[in-house]
Chains A and B, each alone.
Chain A
Amino acid sequence: MTEEKKNYELIPENYEEEMLKRRKASKIKGRDTKSEDVNMNSLMDILTIMLVFLLKSYATDPINITPSSDLELVRSTSLLQPAATVTVTVSKSAIVVDNKPVLVVKDGKVEASQKRGGEDGFFIIPLNRELVNAAESKRRLASVNPSVTFDGVCTIVMDGDTPYRLLTEIMYTAGQAEFNNFKFATISQES
C-alpha cells in the first residue's frame, strides 16, 4: 500500500497534458515521414491540352506576321481568311518578299535608281526580279503537284503609313510579274 502510494505520487500533475502533447507531436512526425508524391496527373492533362491547342493554331496560320513599330498593320472589319500565297511585306524601312529582304524604303519612297524611268517610274526593278522568281518557282511546283495552282494572287502586308504612290508602284510591278489579284493583310476587328 505504501509502495503504491509512492508510485502514485511519482506521476507528475500535468501527466495527461504531457501525454497529449507527445501524441500530437508523434502524429505530425509520422505524417512527415510518410511524404506522399504530389499528384501530377491533372497538371499533365492541362499541359497536354494546351500543347495540342498551341501546335494546332501554329500549324494552321498561312502567314505569320509580327507587328512592330516598323510595321503597324491597319485594322479592318473584313472577315476573309488569309491564304498561303507569295507575300510582299512593306514596312517603313524595307520591302521583303517571302522573308527575303529586297530593297530599302525611305520616307515611304523607293530610291529612284531602283526604278525603271527614275523618280516618276512605277517599275521597281529588284522587286520585279524577286516576284518573277517567286512566280516561276510556284509554276514549277504546280507542274509537278496538281494540288498547287498558280493563280496570280499575292498577299501584301503593308504599314498603315505607306503612301498610295508606293502601293501603286508595288501593284504595277507585281502585275508585270503576272500577279493581278491582291490580298491586303489587316488586323481583324470583328466588330
Chain B
Amino acid sequence: MAKKKRKVEAMQEINMKPAMNLILILIPLLLTSMEAVKIAVINVATPQIGPSSEAAPPDQRPEDRPLKLTIALTNRGITVFARDQVVENENDPLGPTIPKIEGQEMDAEGNMQNAMVYDLAKLTEMLSDFKDANPAEENIIITAEPNIKFRYIVEIMDSSRDMRDGERTKRLFPNVVLSAGVA
C-alpha cells in the first residue's frame, strides 16, 4: 500500500520548470519578431512589347479602337485617356479631366492638414461608366509625372480596382500596367 502511494507521488512531481522557462523565453522572442501589420500586395505589370496600336487601319471608327484606358497623374489633377483621346473636362478643356479638390491630407508628422487632393470618388465614378460601356475590359494603364509620390499611385490603383457601393463590390479595372512617366 505504502509502495503504491510513493509511486503516485513520484508521478505527480514532473519538473516543469525547464519547459516553462523555454516557453517563457520563446513567446516574447516570437512576439517581438512577429509583424504587427498584415501585408497585402498589388499586382502590376510593365508594358509588353507587341504590335503597335498604330497598326490599326486608319479608316477605323474611333468607337472600334481598343479602349486603352490610361490615367495620367499630374500635380494639377488626373487626366484620363480613352481610345488615345483625352477625356475632356467640360469646365476647363485645357486642364486635367479631374482637377484636384480641396480636402485633407496627412503631413509628415501624421497631422491632418488642408491640402489639394485627388478627387478619387469622381475617378471611380468615371471608371465605373467606362466599365459599363466596356464590360470585358480589365486593363488600365497608369502613368505619372516624375515627382508624384508612390502613395498617390497606390491610391489611384485602389480607386480603379473596384467600386464599393454598400455591400456590393463592383469590379472595375484590376489589371494595372505602369508605364513610363508623363513627359
Q: Is the CB of A161 within 8 A of B45?
A: no
Which A residues touch B153, using CB under 8 A? Answer: 164, 167
Q: Is the CB of B154 within 8 A of A162?
A: no
Among listed B50-58, B90-98, B140-148, interface-contacting one: B140-148
Question: Which residue of chain A is the closest to B26 with respect to CB atoms?
Answer: A51
28 contacts between A and B (CB under 8 A): A44-B16, A44-B23, A47-B23, A51-B30, A58-B30, A75-B154, A76-B154, A77-B158, A78-B42, A78-B161, A80-B41, A81-B41, A82-B40, A161-B151, A162-B149, A163-B146, A164-B73, A164-B145, A164-B149, A165-B146, A167-B153, A171-B178, A172-B180, A180-B48, A181-B44, A183-B44, A188-B37, A188-B39
Taken residue by residue from 24 to 46, chain B's Cβ proximity to chain A (1 for < 8 Å, 0 otherwise) reads as 10110011011101111111111
- Residue among A40, A183, A186 with the highest chain B CB neighbour number at 10 A: A186
Question: Which residue of chain A is the closest to B12 with respect to CB atoms?
Answer: A37
Q: Is the interface of A mostly helix, strand, loop or mixed?
A: mixed
Give the B-binding residues of A (Cβ under 8 A): 40, 44, 47-48, 50-51, 54-55, 57-58, 61, 63-67, 73-83, 155, 158-165, 167-168, 171-172, 175, 180-188, 190
> Which one of B37, B43, B145, B149 contacts A67 once the chains associate, using CB atoms below 8 Å?
B37
Could you tell me the distance in whole angstroms from the C-beta of B73 to the nearest C-beta in chain A?
Answer: 8
A186–B73 Cα distance when bound, in Å, is: 20
Q: Is the CB of A40 within 8 A of B150?
A: no
Which A residues touch B34, using CB under 8 A? Answer: 54, 57-58
Q: Is the CB of B27 within 8 A of A51?
A: yes
Question: Which residue of chain B is the closest to A75 with respect to CB atoms?
Answer: B154
Report B109-151 residues with CB < 8 Å from chain A CB. Answer: 144-151
Q: Is the CB of A187 within 8 A of B150?
A: no
Q: Is the CB of B20 within 8 A of A44?
A: yes
Q: Is the CB of B35 within 8 A of A64?
A: yes
Question: Which residue of chain B is the closest to A62 with respect to CB atoms?
Answer: B39
Q: How many residues of B contact A (CB 8 A)?
A: 41
Question: Which residue of chain A is the closest to B45 with respect to CB atoms?
Answer: A181
Q: Is the CB of A79 within 8 A of B40?
A: yes
A48–B37 Cα distance when bound, in Å, is: 24
Q: Is the CB of A161 within 8 A of B41?
A: no
Question: Which residue of chain B is the closest to A165 with respect to CB atoms?
Answer: B146
> Which one of A51, A57, A161, A175 contacts B149 once the chains associate, using CB atoms below 8 Å?
A161
Q: Is the CB of A80 within 8 A of B43?
A: yes
Which B residues touch A155, using CB under 8 A? Answer: 41
Given A64-B33, A66-B35, 6 more A-B residue pairs with CB atoms under 8 Å apart are A54-B30, A80-B42, A158-B150, A164-B153, A168-B146, A168-B181
Contact A164 to B37, CB < 8 A, known contacts A54-B27, A183-B43: no
Q: Is the CB of A186 within 8 A of B41?
A: yes
Which B residues touch A48, using CB under 8 A? Answer: 23
Question: Which residue of chain B is the closest to A67 with respect to CB atoms?
Answer: B37
Which A residues touch B24, using CB under 8 A? Answer: 47
A168–B31 Cα distance when bound, in Å, is: 37
Q: Is the CB of A163 within 8 A of B158?
A: no
A34–B148 Cα distance when bound, in Å, is: 74
Which A residues touch B27, using CB under 8 A? Answer: 47, 50-51, 54
Q: Is the CB of B150 within 8 A of A82?
A: no
A165–B149 Cα distance when bound, in Å, is: 9
A82–B45 Cα distance when bound, in Å, is: 16
Which B residues touch A180, using CB under 8 A? Answer: 45-46, 48
